[in-house]
Structure 1
Amino acid sequence: MKSGKDSALCGIAKFTAGREMSKKSGAQIDEEGIQVAVCRHGFLLRGLNHFRGEIYAYPMFLQKEMSKKANVDFFCMDVTCRYWLYLNKIAGGLPELLPLTEMRPFLSVMHAKAHTAKCEVNSFLSRAALVTRYMTKAGRVNMLTQQAMGWNRRKRDNLHQVLAHRYVKITERAKVEAASFSDFKKENNLDQETIQQRSQRKSTPQGVLKD
């Protein structure tokens, strides 16, 4: 594929992770980094080495591998806005990739906040990079494997606490939003029937509604 102009742009921001193509690094190292796929609970599921920087082919490979192992409905990435255009373009020439486009993509919080939010997994991987930077290839693979196994073990042991905390947080947030919605209906003199009618009109395709 020929790389399009400004393929890494999102508005006025440019991200080094948003590239279609990249030349091999001239540095005297085998890998430039690693990329991992995680579930919504933070478990490390798949990973790979970067040999040509942060290009779209790597997340596409991980996405394809995960689609074989599980029924994945949603796909989140820090540059999904640019990656999804690339995926649809590639799938146009490779029909076997079309099932990947049926997932529902969304942007991560890190992207939405211009990459200023703390990313727990990235922080962990950054520490791993410092430890393994000068290791041999075999030692690096072994160390990263041990770290990944330890990470998943900690996630598993703390999962009950995390889920309980999320449940309490979501329940409290739901109460706040319900109260806010109730106040909004009173201020605008709306009843539930009117709201449902307007929602149906918005969700109906053009040309279906008749007088």
Structure 2
Amino acid sequence: MQTQSNQLTPVTVAMTGASGVQYGMRLMECLFAQNVPVFLMVSKAAQMVITTETEESWPANPDALKAYLVEKYDIGDNLLQVFGREDWLAPVASGSSGPGQMVICPCSTGTLSAIACGASNNLIERAADVVLKERKKLILLVREMPLSEIHLENMLKLSRMGAVVMPAAPGFYHQPESIDDMVDFVVARVLDQLSIPQTMVPRWGYGQD
């Protein structure tokens, strides 16, 4: 996953207004730990969920958010770019320079629906549309329960287009002892899909008594 400049290829991460923002936060932490650059987009609804589910409050302004996250994760500012809702000049908006891999984490069913019908009403939806049309990897960490027929139809439609649909459903065979362990289970599977090495969760059939 290298560019001609020998820099790791960025992974686009979008956070939308579903419960489970911890998955997106942990995913970015893992990417930064391996010096993988991140193109980040955060919806307005996700901002509200972050305030509700965590003790953090992320700035709405992209530049202010970048400064906040660079300090939070203690990283160089070259590892993170943050784009606004209508930043149509961002590289993720075009197939000529669009993302090779994109994760929407968490993915609301509203975002799921918009992507399934090609709405492209904001940069998150457009970036996902670009990934699909360019036949690159789109991972959707859907968080909803129960699932309606509409949700299931949209997931099936996107799966047939090549998207990877990963409901936020942690397993328990690794005997989690904390919420962090359950978050790590899901994030580890996302990293597997991105072909990024991870040691957070033992692989089934290896190292077991």
TM range (shorter): under 0.3
**Structure ranking higher in helix proportion:** 1
TM-score normalized with structure 2 length: 0.26
TM-score scaled to structure 1, two decimals?
A: 0.26
